Structure 1
Amino acid sequence: MKNIAIIPARGGSKRIPRKNIRDFLGKPIIAYSIETALESGLFDEVMVSTDDFEIAEISEKYRAKVPFLRSEETADDYATTVNVLLEVLKTYQKQGKKFEYGCCIYPTAPLLKPSIIKSGYKKLMSESFSTVFPVVEFSYPILRSLKLSGNDKVEMNWPEHQESRSQDLPKAYHDAGQFYWFNVEEFLKEEELFGKNSGALILPNTSVQDIDTEEDWKLAEMKAKLSE
């Protein structure tokens, strides 16, 4: 079975400039995603989709392939991950290359380990999901979450749960933002990564950190050091 890892890494990053190649504990953060994909031993091709020559050069240094650059349409602020993956897979098809399974691995996932990638692949194959991605439990019941009005007045989003005990409320999860395994044929047909036949791989909070701010970056570094 032919598998491809696609790492989407455009050059424009507004909240953390040049985020995808910023130094993370001694090497560009994208290097962790590339190395994890290679070390998993699951992929016939590990490629980076980028519009940026510097990102391409660094990616190739860490042994990823950059066979073509991303188009302007998939490099702007409004292009989705699905748009990028479709472009990559269809470009490969034009070159006569087809893959059965793909994994979109985000370039800012330094806590991701090969074992987690393998677990996601096993779940995709053994349980016949169309897509599989990691999730993490919210640390506090979202049904008891609060909202603030313009003058900082506090209200509950779900006031009917004001007296509910936390342990009596259902658990809720969110996307870990690390990777998506998918069946290529089904993905090209449905053009979605989260659909009716998506499966979840539950990860602990210590293995996950969304990185959108400087504070997030510091937390990710702390977690990475703790996992060494």
Structure 2
Amino acid sequence: MRICTITVRGGSKGVPRKNLRVVAGKPLFGHSVAQAVATGLFDEVVVSSDSEEILALAPEFGATGIVHRPAEMASDTAGKVPAIAHAVRMTEQRLGLSFDVCVDLDATSPLRTVDDIRTAVEMFEESDAESLITGAEARRNPYFNLVEEQPDGTVAVSKKPDDAVLRRQDAPRCFDMNGSIYVWRRDSLLEGQVVFFPSTILYEMPAERSTDVDSEFDFRIVEWLMGTRDDL
């Protein structure tokens, strides 16, 4: 059995009420809920939030369950993974069952497609991985053109390779996590409550589907890109 969670905070420092802001005809978080439902993969699609307004709207986009997110899991400093694990546990208690695969869709990453979700879950289930993340190829490579400041104020390539890398194409491929889709084995999520394990794998997405909304500038990019698509 599979569960999909969408964990949505009511507050936001960068863009006030950003998860409720309408983009392409839906509140931002509503796109992730609707995408989860459209995949046909999940036995439960659950929205977890500290906002009563968000929880009241969630069923309009197909959510089959809601979870009241505790205040201590909804602060600016709270991690996301404990909130996901809490949503899974609360849903299992409500239904009296246990899920096998847990998927989380980030509410601020509406540019993914339904096929992205299906393919990521299929890739995960065909593997022995404990978790899967998504990301796009990094624009800066730590072996070639990403530098970090040294204690004396000088800068150097962030990761020094054994042999000099003269072309970016010769450096190991690196990725920017886009936070769009996360997948876990149920026990790995609930017991570890972390994203990375020795067996973690990555599903690669293109840059044009990898923007995470965290500012007004991001909103402008997402609104423009969504306006060019016919699958919404």
- TM-score in terms of structure 2 length: 0.87
Offset at residue 177 of structure 1 (A): 1.1
Task: Establish whether residue 222 from structure 1 lines up as the match of residue 224 from structure 2.
Answer: yes
1:12-31 matched pairs, under 5 angstroms: 12-31=11-30
What residue is the counterpart of 1:118 in the other structure?
118
Classify 1:97/1:213 alpha carbon distance in 2 versus 1 (closer, same or farther; 3 Å).
same
Q: Secondary structure at the match of 2:67?
A: coil
Question: What is the percentage of aligned positions where both structures have the same residue?
Answer: 25
| Structure 2 residues without counterparts, runs of 5 or longer | none
Offset at residue 5 of structure 1 (A): 0.6
Q: Secondary structure at the match of 1:67?
A: strand
CA distance in 1 between partners of 2:123 and 2:227 (Å): 28
What residue is the counterpart of 1:180 in the other structure?
182
Q: Secondary structure at the match of 1:20?
A: helix
Letter in 2 for 1:133: I
CA distance in 2 between partners of 1:217 and 1:156 (Å): 34
CA distance in 2 between partners of 1:23 and 1:185 (Å): 36
Q: Secondary structure at the match of 1:142?
A: coil
Task: Establish whether residue 58 from structure 1 lines up as the match of residue 60 from structure 2.
Answer: no
CA distance in 2 between partners of 1:112 and 1:72 (Å): 29
Offset at residue 154 of structure 1 (A): 8.3
CA distance in 1 between partners of 2:67 and 2:114 (Å): 26
For the 8 Å contact 2:142–2:159, the answer to whether it is kept is no
CA distance in 1 between partners of 2:155 and 2:133 (Å): 33
For the 8 Å contact 1:146–1:154, the answer to whether it is kept is no
For the 8 Å contact 1:133–1:180, the answer to whether it is kept is yes
Task: Establish whether residue 145 from structure 1 lines up as the match of residue 146 from structure 2.
Answer: yes
| Structure 1 residues without counterparts, runs of 5 or longer | none
Classify 1:84/1:44 alpha carbon distance in 2 versus 1 (closer, same or farther; 3 Å).
same
Letter in 1 for 2:146: S
What residue is the counterpart of 1:166 in the other structure?
168
- TM-score in terms of structure 1 length: 0.88
Q: Secondary structure at the match of 1:7?
A: strand
Task: Establish whether residue 74 from structure 1 lines up as the match of residue 76 from structure 2.
Answer: no
Offset from partner CA, 1:150-203 (integer Å, 9 cap, x none): xxx984445979983323322211211111011112222222222111111011
What residue is the counterpart of 1:131 in the other structure?
131
What residue is the counterpart of 2:5 in the other structure?
6
Classify 1:214/1:125 alpha carbon distance in 2 versus 1 (closer, same or farther; 3 Å).
same
Classify 1:5/1:163 alpha carbon distance in 2 versus 1 (closer, same or farther; 3 Å).
closer
CA distance in 2 between partners of 1:38 and 1:176 (Å): 21
Offset from partner CA, 1:27-68 (integer Å, 9 cap, x none): 211111011100000001111000101111221221213433
Aligned-residue RMSD, C-alpha: 2.3
Q: Secondary structure at the match of 1:118?
A: helix
Classify 1:4/1:163 alpha carbon distance in 2 versus 1 (closer, same or farther; 3 Å).
closer
Q: Secondary structure at the match of 2:120?
A: helix
What residue is the counterpart of 2:207 in the other structure?
205
CA distance in 2 between partners of 1:111 and 1:5 (Å): 17
Offset at residue 146 of structure 1 (A): 4.5
CA distance in 2 between partners of 1:115 and 1:68 (Å): 26
